[in-house]
Copies of this chain bind each other. A is one copy, B any other.
Amino acid sequence: MAGLTEALDALETPCALLDRARVTANCDAMRARADALGVRLRPHLKTAKCAEVARLAGGEGITVSTLEEARYFAERGFRDQTYAVGITPDKLARVAAIDADVAVLTDDVDVAHAAAAAGLPAWIEIDSGQGRGGLAPDDPRVVACARALGERLRGVLTHAGHSYGGRSVEAIRAVAEAERAAAVDAAERVRAAGVPCPGVSVGSTPTAVHAARLDGVTELRAGVYVFFDRFQLAIGSCGADDLALSVLASVVSRRDGAVWIDAGTLGLSSERSMDPFGGGYGVVTAADGAPLPGDPYVDALNQVHGRVVARDGALPALPVGARVRVWPNHACITAAMYDAYEVVDDDRVVDRWPRLRG
C-alpha cells in the first residue's frame, strides 16, 4: 500500500476519502439483500448526497431528506423520489415546482389535505417505536390522512430509527419485525377503510441488514450502508473491511502524549450520538489504513483542530505534516462536512465526486 500513501500525498487535507470498491460492494450487497427479501430497494441518499454514489446504489427510485437533495437529484435525472421527512405546508409548492415525481410524507390530517390540494403524492408516516414522527398504526388519523389523500396516497412508511439502539442481532431483528408489523398493520387498516394503499415502505440500515422477513412490505429504504461507519460496525451491521468513508488529515502540532491534526469539528463533525463505544470522534490509522501502534483515536475537537491520543500505550512519533486516516463513527454527518469525495481504488486516487451539503 506504499503506492496509496504516495497517491494520497497529492491531496489537500482534510478531505473525505471514498473507497470505490467498498462502496460498490456495499451497494451490490444491499440490492441482493432486497432481492432476497422480495422487496424493492429505494436507497436513502441523505448519507451520500452524491449522484455518482446514487448510481452505484441502484434500486428503484430514491429517498431524500431535504428540498435541496430533491432538487439536486432531480437535476441529475432521478425522477422517482420520496422526500421522507414530515412535510410542512409551505414546502408543498416548493416540492411541486421540482421537475420530478417527488412524493411527500405526513402524519397530519390538515397537511394531508393540503398535499392533495397541491396535487402531490404522499405517504403516511407511521411510528413503529422511534417516537419521532408518525402515527401509531391504530391511530384513527391514519385512515383520516388516507381519506384526505385518496388517490394521491402512495402508502404507509415507517423508519425504525430506534434500531440504532440495538446491541445484538436478536435485538435488531426484533426491531425489524416491529417495523414491518407496524407498517403492514397500518396498511391493512387503510385498505379495510376502503382506500387503496399500494405501498408499504420500511427501513433503516440495521433492520435492512438483519430483518428475518419482510412479508407484506413493498420497499426497503436504507442509507448509511453505502459507506457504513464505526457505529454500524460496532452494532454488527458490517465488517471492518466494509468501511468505505474516512477522512485524510495531517499532523499540525505535537505535544507530549498527543498530536493535533487539521481535522476538527468542521472536518470530522462533533457528532457523538453514535459513539457509545468510547471511540471519541473517530479511530486513527496510518494513511494507507494500516493500524498504528497505541490504537490512537481523536478525543477532542476545536473548529479546525482534532487531538489524537493513544488508547493503549504510546503514540507513534508523527512529525508535523504526517498524514493519518480518521474512521468516523457516523458517516452521514462526517460526509456532510465536505463538498466532494476523493475516490480511491486500489492504490490510486481515481476520481473526485462532488456532493451536496444541504
Contacts and interface: CB of A to CB of B under 8 A. Distances in A.
B321 A266 contact: no
Interface stretch (A52-60, A233-241, A252-260): A252-260
A260 B89 contact: no
A125 B302 CA distance: 17
Contacts of A301: 273
Contact of A133 (B110, B253, B339): B253
B271 A85 contact: no
Interface string A317-341: 0011100000000001100101100
A252 B133 contact: yes
Given A133-B260, A260-B132, A265-B271, A304 B66 contact: yes
A106 B319 CA distance: 13
Interface residues of A, number: 57
Given A252-B86, A304-B66, A339 B358 contact: yes
A8 B250 CA distance: 42
Which of A65, A111, A251 has the most chain B CB atoms inside 10 A of its CB?
A65
Contacts of A265: 269, 271, 273, 333
Contacts of A12: 67, 90-91, 94
Contacts of A280: none
Interface string A4-17: 00000100110000
A148 B97 CA distance: 61
A338 B66 CA distance: 13
A339 to B, nearest CB: 7
Given A272-B272, A304-B46, A305-B132, A88 B333 contact: no
A278 interface: no
A19 interface: no
A177 interface: no
Interface of A: 9, 12-13, 46, 65-67, 85-91, 94, 106-108, 110-111, 125, 131-134, 161, 250-255, 260, 262, 265-266, 269-273, 301-305, 307, 319-321, 332-333, 336, 338-339, 357-358
B270 A321 contact: no
Given A46-B303, A132-B302, A332-B303, A320 B89 contact: yes
A43 to B, nearest CB: 15
Contacts of A269: 265, 269-270
B90 A9 contact: yes
A191 B255 CA distance: 26
Given A320-B86, A333-B265, A131 B304 contact: no
A61 to B, nearest CB: 19
Contact of A85 (B88, B304, B319, B336): B304
A94 B11 CA distance: 11
Which of A254, A269, A302, A336 has the most chain B CB atoms inside 10 A of its CB?
A302
Contacts of A272: 270, 272
List the 9 closest pairs (A to B, CB-CB), nearest first. A86-B252, A133-B253, A88-B321, A89-B321, A88-B250, A108-B320, A86-B253, A65-B304, A270-B271
A326 B9 CA distance: 41
A255 B13 CA distance: 43
12 contacts: A85-B305, A86-B260, A87-B252, A88-B250, A88-B262, A89-B321, A90-B250, A108-B253, A110-B320, A125-B253, A132-B260, A269-B270
